[in-house]
Amino acid sequence: MRLGVQVRYGAGLLDLLKQAKDLGCNTIQFFNHNPRSWKNTTKPTQEEINKFKKETKKLNINPLFIHIPYLLNLATPDDNLYKRSINAFIKEVKEAQILGVEFLVMHLGSHKKSGEKFGLERITQALNIILDKTYESCVNILLENTAGSGSWLGYNFSHQGFILKNIRNKKRIGICLDTCHAYVSGYDISKKEGLNNLLKEIDKETGLEKLKLIHLNDAKDKCGSRRDRHQDIGKGYIGYSGMEEIVNHPFLKDIPFILETPKKTDSDDIRNLNTVRRLFHG
């Protein structure tokens, strides 16, 4: 089982691996810099990068996932923000390549009331530019589903399907399934039937082979509420039985799981990781 958490980038690259080791994780997700700022003030030295890559292999921590900063919006109708987001995204791809990170995770973005079709076309156009500008890279981009509040795209897997059908370089595009987001957007995955129906929809829209990561989070709110509030594993509306079905599903159990559960201290991560390990049948 590949199981990890979103780790903090406060003390640099090597501290990411220390956190993973202390928590017993064999995969991690992190922000490459402050997710709420356009400035990157955490530029590692080449020596740090070399040590990071060497230690990652030594500790068998893979795959590595970087989450794209929240400020980027590839669906925006604002041309200035659109261009800035594309340029920042290209930089993220190049930095991930240097670090040996295989996957970037992105939210589809908000169309800001300009319409879903307009927003999806903007995202597709932006990703075509990003992939063309980084054509030599082996970094893959994962489209994460969202809770669907406001004008956010990605709450329905037909959105990811639209992008995959209309993008030129399909090889470097995959899917990230967030369980909390799926549940609150209307997919009742607390039950086996609901989980299987969701997977059938993903298969129809994108192909299940495109599913490369699961954000394993319980939900604080009811199915269809569209409220993006994560809960500890088993303690939300998906519940222990729903989570047990997810982590042991024949197709899902071999896909990496990353927890983004509520966290005040490391003990919160330890508790949630241990819960998942107990639920997993092996």
Per-residue DSSP letters for 113-158? TS-HHHHHHHHHHHHHHHHHHTTT---EEEEE-----TTB--SSHH
Q: What pLDDT score was predicted for residue 41?
A: 67
CATH code, domain carrying 152: 3.20.20.150
| Dist. CA 237–CA 225, nearest whole Å | 11
The verdict on whether omega for the bond into residue 63 sits within 30 degrees of 0, i.e. cis, is yes
pLDDT band at 39 (very low <50, low <70, confident <90, very high): confident
Q: 3-class DSSP state for residue 17?
A: helix
For residue 106, report the phi and psi dihedrals to the nearest 5 degrees: -135, 145
Per DSSP, 188 falls in state -
Handedness of CA 179, 182, 186, 187 (dihedral sign): negative
Q: What is the mean pLDDT of residues 244-260?
A: 97
Single pTM value for the model = 0.96
Q: Which domain holds residue 248?
A: 3-279
| Dist. CA 77–CA 195, nearest whole Å | 34
Percentages of the chain per state (helix, strand, coil), in multiples of 5: 45, 15, 40
Tally of domains in the chain: 1
Q: What is the mean pLDDT of residues 52-81?
A: 96
Return the C-alpha torsion angle 77, 174, 35, 225, nearest 10: 70
- Write out the catalytic residue numbers: 36, 67, 70, 107, 144, 178, 181, 215, 228, 230, 260
Task: Quote the percentage of the chain above a pLDDT of 70.
Answer: 100
